[in-house]
A and B are shown apart, each in its own frame.
Chain A
Amino acid sequence: MASFIYDFSLLTKPIHEALYHWLPPVWALIAEMTLIGLIFLLFYAVVGLFLVYAERKVCAFMQNRVGPNRVGPYGIFQTIADFIKLLMKELIMIKNSDKLLFNIAPFIVIIASFMAIAAIPFAKGLHAIDFDIGILYVIAVSSLGVVGVLLAGWSSNNKYSLIGAMRSGAQIVSYELSVGLSLITIVILAGTMQFSAIVEGQANGWFIFKGHIPAFIAFVLFLISSTAETNRGPFDLAEAESELTAGYHTEYSGIKFAFFFLAEYMNMFIVASIAATVFLGGWMPFHVSSWTGFNNIMDYIPPFVWYFGKTAFVIFLMMWFKWTFPRLRIDQLLTLEWKYLLPINLVNILVMAFIVLMGWHF
């Protein structure tokens, strides 16, 4: 059915074979790793710049403002100008700080998000690595980022930073649970953790439609808990600017601050693309089983357009949250997770397991 969808392994396979033909295997492997690393770096820069611009425009729209409008048409070069400014800023060293940890922390945060993005399928055959444990891997590596936040907060030797780090720790450790459980709900439905197989399994309908109400509940729970996990508003207690100046990255300047900033936006992108892949079919076009003509027309829209469209939709939802809900207090935050989201999630998994067992899903 999905015959029109371009398979990117047709493009990558000749490159792979040519590299192994020209070079000894070790060098070919290193060349491939470098190539993929460079592509992801470029991708990070472009997506990061775009997301910052999008956030400012969406925020302005929500608040009935114009937003950035001076640099370039509609202000599209504003973030590039900001980026150049950040690059030229002085890196301020704090005298009474733990210098080693202070310098390592931004790298831990950004490496964790780098590791997570490797598993995400962008189009058919277009992913860096396709683990059989895809979802578990993403949950595992995204839990590493919190270490960087904690280290940054502690090593700055500043009470605001430390409070921010403690809040972020409590928050991420508890919301990780809901992220994992809501994804497991869909793993039950899909019967696999491999991202490529999950996307293929949605060829005759996205999981959010195939899984009835439990899949939809899982989608909402995933959105809430992953917004919290990425430290974004209304759960941005870790950097609550009105109470903690900037939370855990108060003392950072220049490019090190930019790393935290970029990691936050890239984590949002990763989370949104996981939501798009697991619930909304990833790069899979909108298919309705047995409507062959309709499905064929949908296949003409290239898969990465679908992928980026869905991801952009989820990102827009998350920005919408941020600019419309007030920030939660720390006790409200933990109550929400432990007394509401977690029990709902556990019951939801049981319901989903029952539906799959009875074969009631489509």
Chain B
Amino acid sequence: MTSNQIMFFIFSAVIVIFSILTVSSRRILRAATFLLFVLVATAGLYFMLRFNFLAAIQLTLYAGGIVVLIIFSILLTSQVGQKLELPSVKKRIFAAFAALAGGLVCIFAILQYNFPIAVTDLSTERTTIDDIGKAMISTGKYGYALPFEVISILLLAAMIGAIIIAKKRKD
């Protein structure tokens, strides 16, 4: 076994175990913490594949941004010792069936699909931050200038909306 395989198994084990713990924990802040571990392990997978930029974005946005927001809102609303109520047995059985069916469909689809085997050397080939930066503002073929601008306008609109909602009213 190569070191990459070992690391892959470690990361995927962390992802699987903590994903299950995230949805099965009855303490909501613990669930958020387990979600953090899942997201960090996913970033680890990206680092392993040498997509450094994607990994750093994963860490900043998901682990550092979204999880912090989730934890922040939990801090405001819940207390130590509070547990979510256990759903009824019927609900749990149906949920287990639904999850199992969904998992089976996914596994079946993945096993059926003929993935082209990419023969690339992971140690050299990678998308550098230069490529991403240039693609982001290029207007030619495979350039992302228009989507980039459209998304930034959308974000600006969302920001202004948030400020308007949060603003003190004068009445």
Binary B-proximity of A141-181 (CB < 8 A = 1, otherwise 0): 10110110011011101000010011001000100100000
> Bound state CA distance, A29 and B3, in angstroms?
8
Chain B residues, CB < 8 A from A176? 64
Binary A-proximity of B67-79 (CB < 8 A = 1, otherwise 0): 1100110111001
Instruction: Say how far B130's CB is from chain A's closest CB, in angstroms.
Output: 8
Chain B residues, CB < 8 A from A173? 68, 72
Chain B residues, CB < 8 A from A30? 3
Decide yes or no: A98 and B64 within 8 Å by CB, A133-B129, A165-B75 being known contacts: no
Interface residue? B59 (CB, 8 A): yes
Which residue of the partner chain, among A97, A104, A143, A169, contacts B65 with CB atoms under 8 Å?
A: A143
Chain B residues, CB < 8 A from A101? 29-30, 33
Decide yes or no: A151 and B29 within 8 Å by CB, A26-B2, A146-B68 being known contacts: yes
Chain B residues, CB < 8 A from A140? 56-57, 59-60, 63-64
Chain A residues, CB < 8 A from B57? 140
Which residue of the partner chain, among A25, A137, A147, A154, contacts B52 with CB atoms under 8 Å?
A: A137
Q: A139–B60 contact, CB under 8 A?
A: yes
Interface residue? A358 (CB, 8 A): no
Chain A residues, CB < 8 A from B36? 147
> Bound state CA distance, A97 and B36, in angstroms?
20
Interface residue? A136 (CB, 8 A): yes
Chain B residues, CB < 8 A from A332? none
Binary B-proximity of A111-151 (CB < 8 A = 1, otherwise 0): 00000000000000000000111001101110110110011
Decide yes or no: A150 and B71 within 8 Å by CB, A101-B33, A139-B60, A140-B60 being known contacts: yes
Give the size of the chain B interface in residues (CB under 8 angstroms): 31
Q: B29–A137 contact, CB under 8 A?
A: no
Give the size of the chain A interface in residues (CB under 8 angstroms): 35
List residues 172-204 of chain A with CB under 8 A from any CB of chain B. Answer: 173, 176, 193
> Bound state CA distance, A30 and B30, in angstroms?
31
Interface residue? A96 (CB, 8 A): yes
Decide yes or no: A193 and B80 within 8 Å by CB, A100-B30, A137-B56, A151-B33 being known contacts: no
> Bound state CA distance, A131 and B6, in angstroms?
22
Q: B29–A98 contact, CB under 8 A?
A: yes
Chain A residues, CB < 8 A from B140? none
> Bound state CA distance, A193 and B56, in angstroms?
12
Decide yes or no: A25 and B72 within 8 Å by CB, A101-B30, A101-B33, A143-B65 being known contacts: no
Further contacts, 4 of them, CB under 8 A, given A101-B29, A140-B57, A150-B68:
A25-B3, A26-B2, A154-B80, A155-B29
20 A–B contacts from the bound complex (CB under 8 Å): A25-B3, A26-B1, A26-B3, A26-B6, A30-B3, A96-B81, A98-B27, A101-B30, A131-B52, A133-B53, A133-B56, A136-B129, A143-B65, A144-B64, A147-B33, A150-B71, A154-B80, A155-B80, A169-B68, A193-B129
Interface residues of B (CB under 8 A from A): 1-3, 6, 27, 29-30, 33, 36, 40, 52-53, 56-57, 59-60, 63-65, 67-68, 71-72, 74-76, 79-81, 128-129
The 10 lowest CB-CB distance pairs between A and B, nearest first, are: A143-B64, A140-B59, A157-B80, A140-B60, A140-B56, A136-B56, A29-B3, A133-B52, A26-B3, A150-B71
